[in-house]
A and B are shown apart, each in its own frame.
Chain A
Amino acid sequence: MAQKFEQLPEELQLATSAHVKYIQSLDTRKDEYGYWLTEHLRLNGLYWGLTALHLLGHPDALPRNETIDFVLSCQHDSGGFGAAPGHDAHMLSTVSAVQILATVDALDELDTRGKGRLQVGKFIANLQNSETGTFAGDEWGEEDTRFLYGAFNALSLLGLLHLIDVDKAVDHIAACANFDGGYGVSPGAESHAGQIFTCVAALTIAGRQDLINKERLGRWLSERQVAGGGLNGRPEKKEDVCYSWWVLSSLEMIGKTHWIDRDRLAAFILRCQDTENGGISDRPGDMVDVWHTVFGIAGLSLLKYPGLEAVDEVYCMPKAVTARVLGH
């Protein structure tokens, strides 16, 4: 495969140094209105940028100490993390916080300088619905399989999965399965690539892949590939780099990435780069952002693009990190 990538034309080479510079520049845009309007995504954004840098082989491109300080500054007494200081605690930012600290090998800081590992675990565990097994994003109660996956992701990294009722959560995922093999946001909802990723990854963490209809799901997922090589998130939708990642990583988890044309997918992702200024967009020619940048690079990593660190398809983190933290 490496051979084929080298034969790609110049404009389809990975613009590694431009991407590194782009990610480094993200926190220097305080004179842009958009920077302030997106503060509710700051911790998530840090996770996306940091993960992309690690996969690009530049783990030190963001200062480690400042990263840890910022993460800890977002924590509440409840143990949960907000998106930035002054923002309410939420599952999504709490998961990002745990992922960031795991990536920079600083989970211990939760005990030495934060509110304690266990307190983080309790914040997450408290969001489980004891009746249905699913999870809310925060105290206001909105439920979504995204939050269930987030809980499994963070709690397994913290070694605290025993704080929740895993079997009940697994039952809930099973109830979200559809006849096409996919999963929706809640029981009855249509299959959607993002939700499939969360459900399949949660089942993988729980060791319950036996519940997945791999043949039917693999077929639905592989039918997401469109003529341009990219993958869409639902039938009759346009291709998109972020959906490409969710479909590809789900296929990887069930051992079926060979059901799509991997080379054409890699070429699609590479065409979405801004090779000059760095970053990757949803589709060729669109504005780049860090969200599509990390999912594009993670996709290329899963496709074994040469020079990239291996990505863990379940956690969307460097494999070396999850291996260290999970003790595999």
Chain B
Amino acid sequence: MADQGSYSQHGIARTSRVRTEEQRQRDLDHITRYRDLEDQVRERIKRSDYSPETFRLTSALLKLNPEYYTIWNARRRCLISSSFSKRPSGSLPSKASSTTSPTATTAGSSTESSSAPLAATPPNLASPTAGMSGTTAEETTQYDSSDAESEAADLAIIQSELTFTIPLLLESPKCYWIWSYRLWILEQAISRLPAARARGVWEDELRLASRMLDKDRRNFHAWGYRRHVVAQLESPALNGKSMVEAEFAYTTAMIRKDLSNFSAWHSRARLIPRLLDERGADDEARRKFLDAELNQTREALNVGPEDQSLWYYHQYLILNIVRPSQYPAMAPHFSTTDRIAYLERELDEIRSLLEDYDDVQLVYEALFEYTLFLYHLQNG
């Protein structure tokens, strides 16, 4: 992971800050190499040189420091001005707030870096592994302006860029700028490729999101990222249709692996209203669904009554019972008698938890809150 040094770091054990002379020398060597590379890139940015050579230099620099957002931006400008074949209007930043707008610099780079034909694919981009090594540049440019070929070239660039970020993400899974760049590349797929091709790229991305969540089931970025990817896969731009059943099943699988996963429970709660609507569930189906969720949560609470994630989800279920106007998914048309009966049953179950766990605060808090709900239901 890139060293955030004296600015912000987590979970690094405190050690002596005194370096040996050898360590100091090694630091100085690193600094020289890093700053030399940085100077080269920044000098090129300054004169709006977004050529393939600049692109290659950004690869090297970002491998040393993936947090360097300005360099990711330069990389985007390189792709826009000298790599991607087409330039759909939607792919350019909409705001004119930048000092160096990519549109303006395109003209500059086309005159200055004459070696890079504007529309041609830089050879080091066309190879899917080039982004990884970032050093080989064979001169094999032969550009045909037919749509199919330029699409294939764009696809190759997109895949190469996605490949480039993978090792960086594995090393720095919480680095915001890598995720952000990746999303921008994926958006290029939508605006530059036919829907079927773009869909394939986004489907691969969903697999990556799953892999990231397998490594760290609570990775906040990865869950948010997954939601975003799914929303895109569901959108008309990718010929999508609802994935709510599959995503709901995914939360079930994640919860089975680890009950104590608030992220998965949260996702589940957010999916349920749409899931039931899309199933065309009638009142009876909704009641059965609620019963099943209550049973499952109760069983889990019997094993882990000190687990906050379970209790938050249980609260969500209870809110469906006692606040139907705000949470209408599971018990929209229960009678007050029904609501009271459901709540009393849950209260009984929770009280029975006390037989085994009489020192768990969360159990008492639930009893307290739900008893108040019951009082309000019983007294209108």
Q: Give 1 or 0 for each of B121-155: 1 = CB within 8 Å of chain A CB.
A: 00000000000000000000000000000000000
- The distance from the CB of A93 to the nearest CB of chain B, in whole angstroms, is 10
Which segment, of B28-36, B111-119, B196-204, B238-246, faces chain A?
B28-36
Inter-chain CA distance A294–B46, complex, in Å, is 35
Interface contact B270-A38, CB-CB below 8 Å: no
Interface contact B267-A289, CB-CB below 8 Å: no
Given A38-B4, A78-B99, A179-B327, A234-B262 contact (CB < 8 Å)? yes
Interface contact B70-A82, CB-CB below 8 Å: yes
Contacts of B9 in A (CB 8 A): 282, 286-287, 289
Q: Give 1 or 0 for each of A209-244: 1 = CB within 8 Å of chain B CB.
A: 000000000001001000000000011110010100
Given A41-B7, A190-B223, A33-B31 contact (CB < 8 Å)? yes
Contacts of A188 in B (CB 8 A): 227, 270
- The distance from the CB of B22 to the nearest CB of chain A, in whole angstroms, is 14
Q: Which of A80, A138, A289 contacts B7 (CB 8 A)?
A: A289
Q: Which of B27, B96, B180, B266 contacts A33 (CB 8 A)?
A: B27
Interface contact B8-A180, CB-CB below 8 Å: no
Residues of B within 8 A of A (CB): 2-15, 17, 24, 27-28, 30-31, 34-35, 38, 42, 45-46, 64-65, 67-70, 73, 76, 93-99, 101, 180, 183-184, 218, 220, 223-224, 227, 260, 262-263, 266-267, 269-270, 307-309, 312, 315-316, 319, 327
Contacts of A79 in B (CB 8 A): 97
Interface centre among A40, A79, A140, by most chain B C-beta atoms within 10 angstroms, is A140
Q: Give 1 or 0 for each of A264-300: 1 = CB within 8 Å of chain B CB.
A: 0000000000100100011101111111100000000
Task: State which size class the interface on A falls in.
Answer: 35 or more
Interface contact B260-A289, CB-CB below 8 Å: no
Interface contact A190-B262, CB-CB below 8 Å: yes
Interface contact B307-A274, CB-CB below 8 Å: no
- Listed A/B pairs (26) with beta-carbon separation below 8 Å: A29-B6, A31-B28, A33-B3, A34-B6, A36-B35, A37-B64, A38-B7, A39-B68, A41-B67, A48-B7, A80-B99, A86-B46, A86-B70, A88-B69, A89-B98, A139-B94, A140-B73, A141-B94, A179-B327, A188-B227, A189-B224, A190-B223, A287-B14, A290-B6, A290-B8, A291-B8
Q: Give 1 or 0 for each of A176-212: 1 = CB within 8 Å of chain B CB.
A: 0011100011101111100000000000000000000
Residues of A within 8 A of B (CB): 26, 29, 31-41, 44-45, 48, 76-80, 82-83, 86-90, 122-123, 126-127, 136, 138-142, 178-180, 184-186, 188-192, 220, 223, 234-237, 240, 242, 274, 277, 281-283, 285-292
4 closest Cβ pairs, A-B complex: A34-B5, A291-B8, A190-B266, A139-B93
